[in-house]
Structure 1
């Protein structure tokens, strides 16, 4: 089961042979459950829907959080389309919070790699990228908290070139590079954040997380940053590949308890 987030999806191109953006629900029973929208990574060319999506939603359920996995649009779609999809997803979950049994004020985003960039973009770009068309669009698109897992943060030279090309094209403008370099877009309204990365990540350099943490600190945004010595890229829950990095789940669980309460 999935929820289509628009009745008529803006900028949809059937020639790109991608489904319209949707949310896969992992809902707990009861009312006013905190909720996390999960954004799998994939370099803005695909999505690791299992180990960075559904597996993570199941883990969140085990902690007492409802979750959705977002199937957002990727290349050949370009910016701002992925951000539009996540912003609309946040509004959608808020609008139907009573139906979903979720707390309207406890809706967070979690992203891996390029999905981490998407989540960070939603945390730093609070102006809705679409023309409002219905009552859902009247909801706030600001997430209440964010979790960034080995995220792409910048579109500058220490980011991930593939994600940059997929999102912005071969010859992006300096304006677009700056706009989608999340370390330059943090404001006093950016929500609290949990970040983790590995020092050995050769795909997305740890400098991405360090730069975002530094900017959060400059703006007095509460956050945690955890850098693990061992482990490569694309670890997901890291329960099999690397026992050291797998500690992120416990650390994040404790952080979430503080943020939610």
Structure 2
């Protein structure tokens, strides 16, 4: 067993290294050449002393570096290595930097002041070189449509997190959600879509105008989990183009069973999205309906994502568990003490992170100095079962033998290229002797497929069975089926 575990760990570490590089690249600039490692502070002093020698050695070896600087305070760019004399073509690179009040120039520059333009964004690199992104202020002519565009985006953030307030025409809501989900706010050049595609406003309005609002108060069917006070260790200031508006506070969207006498338990549903968005459309909304239709009260957790930290995400899940247990009886919920959670990708990491970082009897004030606990925070936040759907990462739960583990259910596909399959196997091996666990490994399926079927990726036949498998798992958890039936 130890030998197998060691092999899996080594494979995973290699996969994680690639994943981290991909994540960094996506946040900045997509590229394929070798990315050079950054030096830390301890190494910097010695590297400065020998910098000229290193540059000479680098050029002797036929390699030089290109640094692409975003030209933004507080933001770092990417350093890439090339052979001396390489023809550099940056005309088709994708840049994901944004700056409120500015458009990114389509031209790059050899200087930070934007005086020395790089013709066609192409040049031959002979020595270590830094190029800079350029920025131009929004013009007075652009401002009206930019403001309209940003207003529509801000409105969509509230609409898409409150599906029950707009379900007068489910098809219209899904079409609107699919359009907004598939529309990049920033285009391939790193500019607001509306700058180069003014017609997008008409498209957004066309989908928006088909929505049928079913309640005058869009908050009527949501349950805010925090009171007037909310633990916040990040205190972000910049919400420009973030997934949520500045006034966002976490809440639950309840999908309650019509007959509470037939309810088996309560399921919190957590979408993924790499902690910078919530992929509700493909993951949490369909899953909530699935569990609602199969004997559970389901609750979609609209938790905090970037610019907040992951610790705030973990705290939101802990609070959601406590909220249901504390208020469940008054809200008419059957078995409010029975709470499980299913998380997709980053949603699964949120479950693991909460188990690892936040003890079930801990208080938010243990981690956030600016928060005063209330009565709800005194409730135990342990889960009965945790369903981790393509979101298991090795060491997300450190020293699991010391943690209060729920029963655990893992789902992953061999074809998942975002989170390596080895990580689910590794976490399963860490916990299966400590708590009742199941691992379901499918030959086919992709990352982000939710229940196994989406509007844009079709259906994976075998993979789509995991939902039914989870129902059997939960039936055993809650005593509705026996683990073993003797002949």
Give the structure-2-normalised TM-score. 0.46
The answer as to 2:465 corresponding to 1:233 is no
The answer as to 2:251 corresponding to 1:22 is yes
The answer as to 2:243 corresponding to 1:48 is no
Matches for 1:176-255 after TM superposition, within 5 Å: 181-187=395-401, 189-218=404-433, 220-239=434-453, 240-255=458-473
Alignment partner, residue 90 of structure 1:
321
Matches for 1:51-70 after TM superposition, within 5 Å: 51-70=282-301
Contact 1:110-1:147 within 8 A present in 2 as well? yes
Alignment partner, residue 225 of structure 2:
5
Matches for 1:32-43 after TM superposition, within 5 Å: 33-43=264-274
Contact 1:22-1:70 within 8 A present in 2 as well? yes
Q: CA deviation at 1:222?
A: 0.7
Return the alpha-carbon distance in structure 1 between the equivalents of residues 275 and 225 of structure 2: 19
Contact 2:363-2:378 within 8 A present in 1 as well? no
Alignment partner, residue 368 of structure 2:
none
**Secondary structure at the residue paired with 1:80?**
helix
Q: Structure 1: any 5+ residue segments left out of the alignment?
A: 155-180
- 1:102-145: CA deviations, max 9, x gaps? 31331001100011100122334442361252111110111111
Q: Structure 2: any 5+ residue segments left out of the alignment?
A: 1-220, 240-244, 366-371, 480-487
- 1:184-203: CA deviations, max 9, x gaps? 24235201011110011001
**Secondary structure at the residue paired with 1:102?**
coil
Q: Which moved more, 1:142-151 or 1:24-33?
A: 24-33
Larger RCO, structures 1/2 (Cα 8 Å, 6+ apart): 1
Distance 1:121 1:102, change over 3 A: farther
Return the alpha-carbon distance in structure 1 between the equivalents of residues 326 and 236 of structure 2: 26
Q: CA deviation at 1:13?
A: 4.7
- 1:50-87: CA deviations, max 9, x gaps? 22111110000111000100001111111311111100
Return the alpha-carbon distance in structure 2 between the equivalents of residues 79 and 45 of structure 1: 10
Aligned residues: 234
Q: CA deviation at 1:153?
A: 2.0
Contact 2:363-2:377 within 8 A present in 1 as well? no
- 1:15-38: CA deviations, max 9, x gaps? 433511111101123256400101
The answer as to 2:362 corresponding to 1:142 is no
Give the structure-1-normalised TM-score. 0.84
Alignment partner, residue 160 of structure 1:
none
**Secondary structure at the residue paired with 1:213?**
helix
Contact 1:195-1:225 within 8 A present in 2 as well? yes
Return the alpha-carbon distance in structure 1 between the equivalents of residues 336 and 379 of structure 2: 10
After the TM superposition, which segments of 4 or more aligned residues of structure 1 sit over 6 Å from their partners?
none
Q: Which moved more, 1:97-106 or 1:243-252?
A: 97-106
Contact 2:264-2:478 within 8 A present in 1 as well? no
Distance 1:135 1:85, change over 3 A: same
